[in-house]
Structure formats: C-alpha cells, structure tokens
Amino acid sequence: MGKYRLDSIARLARQLRFAPIVRRLQQLHAAEDLLLQLKPDQTYSVGAITVAITSYEPKPTDTAMLTGIALQHDLGMLTEEVSESLQLDVKAVTEPVLMIEDVVQRMGVTSKTVQRWRRRGLPAGRYTFADGKRRVGFRLSHVRRFAQGAPAEDRPPVAAALRHQHDVEWLLTRAAELAGRGYWRMLAAERLATTTGIAAPALDLLLTNHGAQIQFAAEPNTQQRRSALDLVDAGGSLAAIATQTALPKFALYRAALDRKLNLAIRKKIQFIDDSMYHQGDAEQAIEQIIAQEPVGIAAATELDRIPRELPPYLRDLYRIPMLSAARERGLFLKYQYLRFRAFQAQQALDPQTSSNRDLRRLKAFHAQARKVRGQVVEANLRLVVSVARKHVRNALQLMELVSEGNLILIRAAASFDVHRGTRFSTYAVYALMRGFARFVPETLQKLSGTIDPTLLVELRDPASSIDLDQAVLRDEVNRLMSQLDERERQVITQRYGLEGSQAPLTCEQLGSLMRVSRQRITQIEQQAMEKLREMAK
C-alpha cells in the first residue's frame, strides 16, 4: 500500500484498527466521505480531520495544518487499510462494488485513469469478491460522486461512454426538448443520466461546452423549492403541482427524494453487533439456527392454568406457543442482523446519487426487522397479562395495563442482547415490573382528581398548547368517554366541543338537533358528568 506521508494520519490509522467493528465501520464511511470532499489546493487542520472521522476532539496542542493533496494520498491509504481489517465481503454491501476493470468499462476510461482517480480522492477498499479473492474495489456511489465533483480533466469522457448507443447530437436534441419543458442545465443533465447511465457531471460538461444554443430555464431558488415541497407534502399530485409552480415534474420528484434521503441519513439506527453479520453467509447461518428446532406447542397442562376470569382475547394469548431457546436466539440474531443491514443501507445513501430504490431497500430491512420482532413479542404477550394482573387497581383496569405492558414488551425486545445468555422471558418480566412500578402510581395520581366542565373546556381544542399532564388527562377523558352510552357521549361531545367539533352547542341548539327539550339535554349532561366523576374516582 506504500507509506504514509503524514505522521498524524499514520497514527490515526493505527488507532482505528483497535476500534470495535461497528465503530470502525462508521469511521471508515466518515473517512471515505471526507476524502471525496477534500480540495487538493486547500489546507486542513489535524483537529478538523480527526473530528470528522472519529467525532472525538484531539488535544488542543495538535494544531498542525495539512495540505489537501497530501491528505488525499494518506486518507486513500487509510480507507484501504481499515477496510482490509474489517474483512469486507461484497455480498454484505448494499450497492455494487466495482473492480478496476468494471470502472474502466462503465466510465469509458483507462486503468491508468482509474489509478489517477485513486490518487486524487476516489475512495478504494479491499473486498472479498464472488470468486473468494480479495482485491481493490470501488463502491458505485463513490465512483459517481467522484466523477460529479472532479475537475474537468478528471471527468469521464462522454464520447467513450456514448460509443455504443448514444451520440452527442442525440443528447443535445434531447436536452433542447427538456429545456423547452422548463428544465435548467444541471437538472437536464441529471434527467439524461437516469436514461443513459452516464454520470451527470459528464453530461453537464457536455451541455456546457456544446449546448450554448440551448435556452435552459433559470434554476429555482431555495424559497421556490421550499414552497413546492410544501405542496408535495400536502398530498397534491406532481402533475398538478408542476403546473401550479411552473417546475418540471422531475424537479419536484428530485427535490422530494433529496429531502427523504437527508431524513433517512440523519436517522439514528442502533443494533447489537455480532461478528457473524460481517460474513457473506450470515443470513444462511442465522436461518439454520432458527430452523434447529420447530415452533413449540402449548402444553395441555399449561392450557389448564389459563385464568378463567380473563376475556376471550386475553385467554387466547396463552395458546400462542412459547419459543424454544434455540429459536428465540435465532430470531433475536435475525432481528439485530436486519437492523445491521439497515445501517449498512443507510451508510450507502448519498443525496447526490441514491434513488428511491435505495430508500425502498432501507425501508424493507426496517420492515423485515419489525416483523421478526413481532414474532418474539407475540410469543411473549402472555407475560404482559400475567404481570399486569398483579397491578390491577379499582381505578386502573386490566386492559389499560395490558396496553401499556405491550409497549414495554416491544421496547424490551428492541434492546434485548441475546449474547448475555439470559432468556428473553426473564428480561421481559423484569422490564414489565419496572415499567408498571412507574406507570401505576403516576396514573393513579392523575386519576385522583375529578372530571369537571372546566377541564372539558380546556381540552376541547386538540391543537391548543397544553403541558404533559394535561395531555395525559385528555387521553384519560377520551377513555372515560368511551364508556358512556351513545346519547350521553353525543351530548358531552357537542356541549363542550370535543373530538374535533367546530364549536360547543347550547342546550337549545343541541335539543333541536336531537329533537328533545332543553331540559332533557340538561338532564343527560348532568347524568353523564356524574358517571364521569364516579369512573374517575
């Protein structure tokens, strides 16, 4: 790999080798991202480089300045060294990894050009490919991003990329058509890139050099983009919004996609790592663990112990088979593995090059992980009922406790570490006991007050600014209201403007609406309020 030119980067590379696998993977992605942003003619402080890669502040005395061109060389070596230590397999990467010959064919350049790109900031890594051999590879998103931001002399030649099916005249004709539909130059380049497979920067350079006669539209400013996105959020069709804003549909699509990508990139994904996840056959190995034992069945003696006072829904939970130890371990490994794959998919996202397909891949991993977690939760719902029954109070019903317990169980499943050797049932019971120890006293304290008309007036506007205690009381009022009969609920709702009603009605107005006297409305209201007070007690 050669030798480092900068002692500070050589020290940093040695430090990264001892970081945990997940942390090292994050630092690798940070170094690759930084490498793509470096400018060879600028200088950077050691502190800024260290923070960008590790998120840790260096010693205040470390204030040396490094040149961009030297950093490009050394950070390129660092990324290869760290990737080598991670034993990365292309099967575990969520995007194509190109060998040098693949880059040559796809971008229409020579192998010498690819080597020059590596020296000028194209991140490279060491990967195990399908033939089992380890060699230098380049992530497709990195190649595209480098080509888009590279100086003109380093951009891929358009003529070479077009030699099979497209030519410059066709592209210019197509660009003129797009300009007539309101496209600005870079947007036209991006649109053509989606259909030709040529890097957008290369097409932008072509349009800059050969498209002087094409009258492109002016690029919208930030306020225009924000206004258009607000309309997209409101649920309008892209065609209608394009007509209203005079922006092309593709621009609206790209702007909405960019925002989704930025939100997905910023969202924190947590998982419990396992060295197995970094192997190419991780998925098959986990499925074998799950398949070691079939799903168990509820024993007849266990069914005999189902509490007879439970409603049918809760009794049925005791008939759901508990998981065997091996199957439970396999499901938790699979859940965390899918979270790990989601993390990988997130790290591969790039606002400049990623597509809706990349977002769908990320969402698919999240959905699969939730499904696996649901299997574990469903098999342990009986634990919620068992623990909740011990916390029932006169003012606190079993179903309310079960509802809270289900949320506690879901959070417990998300944080459970199968590597500690404890069965999930033990961990879940402890989490439920601890959760109910907080929930029950807090809820009883809130229910100790009385329900009065003043509270109903305060809570009638769902959009009003209220504190947390009032929000809890509003939810409690809604629960109590559900226990009134239909006529009582209608009177209270209409009299106090609850559940989205436009304005409270007088007794006369409500009597006319319900075709009863004003006195009857007053009686129903008083009766309903008395019920609410009794239930609150």
For the chain, give every residue range classified as CATH 1.10.10.10. 453-536
Looking at residue 32, its pLDDT comes to 92
CB atoms within 10 A of CB 28: 25
Residues contacting 413, CB < 8 A, separation 6+: 335, 373, 376, 377, 380, 424, 428
Cα separation, 91 vs 282, in Å, equals 10
Looking at residue 136, its pLDDT comes to 93
pTM: 0.60
CA distances 159 to 102, 307, 387, 427, 477, Å, are 18, 77, 71, 63, 71
Looking at residue 167, its pLDDT comes to 65
For the chain, give every residue range classified as CATH 1.20.120.1810. 275-446
CATH for the 453-536 domain, from 1.20.120.1810, 3.40.50.880, 2.60.120.260, 1.10.10.10: 1.10.10.10
500: left (phi over 0), alpha (psi -120 to 50) or beta: left
Looking at residue 155, its pLDDT comes to 66
Amino acid identity of 169? E
Looking at residue 467, its pLDDT comes to 45
Domain with residues 275-446, CATH architecture: Up-down Bundle (1.20)
| Cβ–Cβ < 8 Å for 392, 437 | no
Tokens at 450, concatenated: 């009385």
Q: Which residues of the chain have pLDDT under 50?
A: 1, 160-161, 163-166, 297-301, 463-472, 501
Helix H or strand E segment including 199? none
CB atoms within 10 A of CB 194: 12
Alpha helices (runs of H) in 267-324, residue ranges in sequence order:
282-290, 300-304, 312-317
Looking at residue 465, its pLDDT comes to 44
